[in-house]
Amino acid sequence: MPLVSTEDCGAVRVITYANAPFGTMTAAGSAEMFGAVMAAGEDPSVRVIVITGGIPGIFIRHYDVRELSDAADAIERGAAPAPSPPGPRPPGFHALTDMIAAVEKPVIAAINGMCMGGGFELSLACDLRIAGNAVTAIGLPETRIGIFPGGGGTQRLPRIIGEARALEIILRGLTVTGPRAHEIGIVHEVVPDPLARALEIGAELSSRGAEGLAFAKRLTRAALDRPLAEGLADERKSFAAVMRTASAREGLQAGRPPAEIQKL
């Protein structure tokens, strides 16, 4: 039974993850989700991607601890990895989060329930995070079971909320509610229906030039990882490139009256 389903709402593709009954991420789920995100990224009719959970009260609970425990046991035994089946190796969780961060379309996490560990790390790879005000657990509890966030949490969370707050959450293995996540800057909004709100924002972004959004995402994500001079040079080169696109010329024509730009 598939773990991932998709639905198009206009130019917004909703990717839903549902691994009943617990809603954990798995190797199989990572591969399915990777395929869904890649397909959305390659489909020109899709302008925005929304990721949400398909089990009531669960976005993605966390990565399957049984799979992690089995991997730890295999490492301890020095067991040789099982022979790989013919063909390319299925993409794993790290490839999935890297894909989400790099795809040239906005990705919104509609956090509609529990969102811990690997589930939270997946949301951190998204560009925007909208949480439900009834969500009870968002965070990184890994140190409670003797490990640490290994799916991007130690690197992405400090970039979002700062080192001090990230250290508190990661070292203590904390989780917070949806409203508290908004207070400390983990999520951008907290609302009664995060999927509905994500679709509203998706429709808004779908009306913008695709090239402008793609350049903006890439440049902003790279800003903290390279010297300022290098980033500014890339921005200036990219700005010249986007000005050549039809969508930019159309948008600039619409924005000629300065008083009306904020209404576009």
Which residue among 32, 42, 76, 142 is the active-site one?
142
φ/ψ bin of 60: left (φ > 0), alpha (ψ from -120 to 50), beta (otherwise): beta
Q: Known catalytic residue: 121?
A: yes
Residue from 154, 94, 106, 123 nearest 17 by CA: 123
Query: Looking up tokens 């890297």, which residue turns up?
Result: 98
- Integer CA distances (angstroms), 51 to 11, 84, 130, 206, in order: 14, 30, 10, 16
DSSP 8-state secondary structure symbol assigned to residue 264: -
As given in the structure block, the two tokens for residue 235 are 């921005």
As given in the structure block, the two tokens for residue 116 are 């811990």
41-46 contacts: CB < 8 A, separation 24 or more? 41/99, 41/103, 41/104, 41/105, 43/13, 45/8, 45/11, 46/8, 46/11, 46/12, 46/13, 46/105
| Catalytic residue set | 121, 142
